Chains A and B, each alone.
Chain A
Amino acid sequence: MTDSNQGERSTVGVVEELARDDVQRKHFLKMAGKGMGSAAAATGLAAFIAACGGSSSTSSSAAGSSSSAAMGGTSSTAAAVASTTAPTGDLAIVNYALTLEYLESQFYAKVIASGLFHGKNLSVIKSFGAEETQHVVALKKVAMSMGTPAQEPMGKFPIHSATQVTKLAGAVENLGAAAYLGQAGNIESKEILAAALSIHTIEARHAATINLVLMKSPTPDGAFAKPMTMAEVLKVVTPFIA
């Protein structure tokens, strides 16, 4: 983050590079490992893996080496590099985000197709939908670079009237913002964290816009946005999956 060139590069570029360039990712994580290879971080990861349940066969060995890297201490560069192959916790988070983005993208596509919106409102909806689709593309690439990406869910959304749809859009975007915020402290990789943050504030911008259109407060939680856990979010989302 101290390199100004890095800051000027678009985040899309960072995300795509992350998906494509495994060497770059390992190098970055190696440096991150030197800075924060604490046992506490490994404990957090282990707890997260346990909470998430299953993992793909390709990443289970990486999880093992991740714990051993932490046991070996912060100075073991080789162990830190080994731990970066595919952090299971991060893959689960990326796939969780991917699932939510699939649903958002499908939702906007249905809203656009419904013909309920015109003019300026329609163009805002179209741009929000296009941004969610870009999130899908980026997250899918990242997930593929780490293991198996989540399957696209089949969303089902009630589309009745402009007001009802706008309310639902507000609920969806505020939920999305809270979902990303809830994972910020769980992400191991600094690059994936940076990517998640860059998406998180887009969900927040969408949410605030729709809140204002609905004559609601753009900051319904006050000065500090409230996070939601994966379990809380999935409970809300499940009825929208066919």
Chain B
Amino acid sequence: MNTPENTSPELANVEVHGLTRSSFILKGALAAGAAYGASAVAPFVGNALAASPDVDILNFALTLEYLETDFYQRKGRTVGLSGQAKSLARSFGDEEAEHVAALTKAITASGGRPVKRPMFVFPGRDQKSFLKLAYVLENTGVGAYNGAAPSLQSRALLAAAGSIVQIEARHAASIALLTGMSITPNGAFDKPLTKKQVLAAAGPLIKA
């Protein structure tokens, strides 16, 4: 291990933005790193970031929004939609893209690093199968947000998640009306989904 004298003093001057607990811990760890060497504090920095559950939740949501955006914007184009399906897919795709942008900003502002956009692969070749999958994805989105939102520590992020999940629910209902599927598939109370349940539904669509 390096001696305190000849390690990285520049680490002590790294500015950590945001007021989250993890960034506070991170700042302390960086100061310690300046004294004891970066490799010595690396595990603690990792813990500090993992200790911010909001960033994890936001990144989880970001992955789903990437998926939905790619689905409407890329898969929607290759399938060749028509009529109301085409116009709804266009506006829904735009809205999902806005969710991606907002979540990316929120993660950065919380002192986290946004996950990279994965590669997705979607089955189906026609409008009918496209809408069927859209219905599944939107309902999964509703359950994912409803399941994760109560774990958010920040009230501001909770409000933001609420304003997004309402849109997912509106998308789901619109596709239901268009296709004759159930508008309220869970009855009077939407079911929250665990991360595991969401991954089981969305995971097979993630290629890399």
Contacts and interface: CB of A to CB of B under 8 A. Distances in A.
Interface of A: 1-4, 6-8, 10-12, 15, 35-36, 44, 124, 127, 130-132, 134-135, 138, 177, 181, 184-185, 190-191, 193-195, 197-202, 204-209, 212-213, 217-219, 222-227
Contacts of A8: 197
State the 10 A-B residue pairs at the shortest beta-carbon distance, nearest first: A208-B170, A223-B98, A11-B189, A7-B194, A225-B166, A204-B169, A134-B188, A205-B173, A201-B169, A223-B95
Contacts of A205: 169-170, 172-173, 176, 183-184
Contacts of A226: 163
B192 A208 contact: no
Interface of B: 88, 91, 94-96, 98-99, 102, 142, 145-151, 153, 155-156, 158-160, 162-174, 176-177, 183-184, 186-197
A197 B170 contact: no
B165 A198 contact: no
A80 B172 CA distance: 39
Contact of B91 (A200, A209, A219): A219
B146 A12 contact: no
Interface centre among A11, A208, A225 (most CB of B within 10 A): A208
A206 B88 CA distance: 17
A197 B161 CA distance: 10
Main secondary structure on A side of the interface with B: helix
Given A200-B166, A223-B167, A224-B164, A184 B191 contact: no
B146 A209 contact: no
9 contacts: A1-B192, A10-B189, A127-B183, A130-B188, A138-B188, A181-B162, A205-B172, A206-B173, A226-B163
Contacts of B95: 219, 222-223
A185 B159 contact: yes
Nearest to B100: A223
Contacts of B173: 204-206, 208-209, 218
A185 B158 contact: yes
Contacts of A225: 162-164, 166-167, 170
A226 B170 CA distance: 13
Contacts of B156: 185
B150 A12 contact: no
A7 B192 contact: yes
A168 B167 CA distance: 21
Given A1-B150, A134-B188, A209-B183, A201 B166 contact: yes
